[in-house]
Amino acid sequence: MNTLVIVAPPVYQKYVNAAALLCPEIIWIGPDVIELDNKRENVICFEANARVYEELHQVFRQVIEQYPVEQIETPYEFYIENVAYLREVFQIPGSTVAQIVPTRYKDVMKDCFVQHDVPCAKHKKISNLVDLTEFVQLHGYPMIFKPLNNAGSRNVCRITSEEEAVEKAKYFLDVLEEPFLAEEFIDIQQEGSYDVVIVGGKVVFGTISVYEPLVLETAARPGGQRIYIRHDLPKELDQAIRIYGQKAIEALNITHSFAHIEYMIDRKGRLLIGEVGARIPGAQIPLLMGLSQGISMEQVWAEHLIYRSCQHELNRTWHTGILFINAETDQPIQKLENLDLILQLYGEAIVYQQLPSIGQLPKLHRPNMDDTDAFIIVKDRSSKRVKEILDDISQLLKIT
């Protein structure tokens, strides 16, 4: 391959640079990418707001007039559909819009799950209040409302009454002017994700994570969430997550991609599949995966993209965990209390940390669960020890 186009925002620079090591020429299209430092010499940048198809189309037309483009890809979920449109318009090989739709629109996704016997929550696309009434009559309260084509937990809410349901439904239908998905409420005991690499429609590599606390508990107020990559789950559960994850991939006809597969276990012990994103996971999960495996997930992504393969096998030796931390002030940060003690106690186990500088303003706008002021990752051969260390850090570290 001579020229690869990657459409991505600046936060994916490490992925772009990894691809640049394997490909003679990378064209990077995205917002605010031209002025970035530390780009490799064979990375050529074009700026565009890739969420706006017309703008992306115009810039891509300029690109193909100057370069012999063979492939266009994106690691970012919100660009996937627009990139698929470009492939069709300019006749470039790769996933089509029809192939993308089941991975982007939750109602289509869940219908595919039902058709292929993948266990999931009962659901209905709500286009008007009549649809809502019908769903309430069947399933009652509480229930979950969520956008059809968003990512993460944005605008996902628990509904407990008719008044709340009508108010939120009108927000989706009248203010946002878009239908939404209603789902039965699942009383979740455990949830997490199965994050995988897919080649030829088969999962060839994947790790299982556990979230703590539950996603809905941290969605409204990010901070304190942990994610653990564990290799010591009960054998039957580990196998079941992998089996149903593969079934979900087949139901959605995902043939060559990274994928983020959400799972949940209810109080009755049922395993259900949530949503599947044909993308690199967020919430620092690739960093957790790489540290648990001793590899660079950016390199894995680049090799998978360019060589169409994945040569890595799962190593179950090391468990990793991440703790997200918020400042306890809305003023410029003055102190990281007990940091020296934490490093003295757990320095060998701490393998990555991102901490704020003194004088830095805390984050006040937090659209995602991992939009916190700090995070710390620890690694140990014992998952129990990983949890114990993060428990201690969460009590000791105060950002004030």
CATH number of the domain enclosing 170? 3.30.1490.20
**Residue 112: inside a domain:** no
Does one domain contain both 326 and 347? yes
Does one domain contain both 193 and 167? no
Q: How far is CA 229 from the centre of its chain?
A: 15
Q: Are 319 and 381 in contact (CB under 8 A)?
A: yes
Does one domain contain both 196 and 168? no
**Residue 26: inside a domain:** yes
CATH number of the domain enclosing 288? 3.30.470.20
Does one domain contain both 172 and 195? no
Position 194 scores a pLDDT of: 98
Q: Are 281 and 255 in contact (CB under 8 A)?
A: no
Does one domain contain both 73 and 128? no
CATH number of the domain enclosing 62? 3.40.50.20
Position 191 scores a pLDDT of: 96
Strands 188-199 and 256-266: antiparallel
Does one domain contain both 180 and 292? no
**Residue 252: inside a domain:** yes
Range of the domain at 134: 122-184
Q: Total structural domains in the chain?
A: 3
Does one domain contain both 210 and 274? yes
b/e map 250-281, b = 16+ CB within 10 Å: bbbebebbbbbbbbbbbeeeebbbbbbbbbbb
Position 152 scores a pLDDT of: 59
**Residue 104: inside a domain:** no
User: Phi and psi dihedrals of 9, rounded to 5?
Assistant: -75, 170
CA pair distance 224, 326, nearest whole angstrom = 7
Does one domain contain both 214 and 349? yes
**Residue 105: inside a domain:** no
Position 368 scores a pLDDT of: 63
Does one domain contain both 250 and 359? yes
Strands 123-126 and 180-184: antiparallel
**Residue 114: inside a domain:** no
**Residue 371: inside a domain:** yes
Query: Which positions of the chain have pLDDT values less than 50?
Result: none
Q: Which helix (H) or strand (E) holds 90?
A: helix 80-90
Q: Are 181 and 267 in contact (CB under 8 A)?
A: no
Does one domain contain both 149 and 199? no
Does one domain contain both 200 and 333? yes
**Residue 101: inside a domain:** no
Does one domain contain both 275 and 245? yes
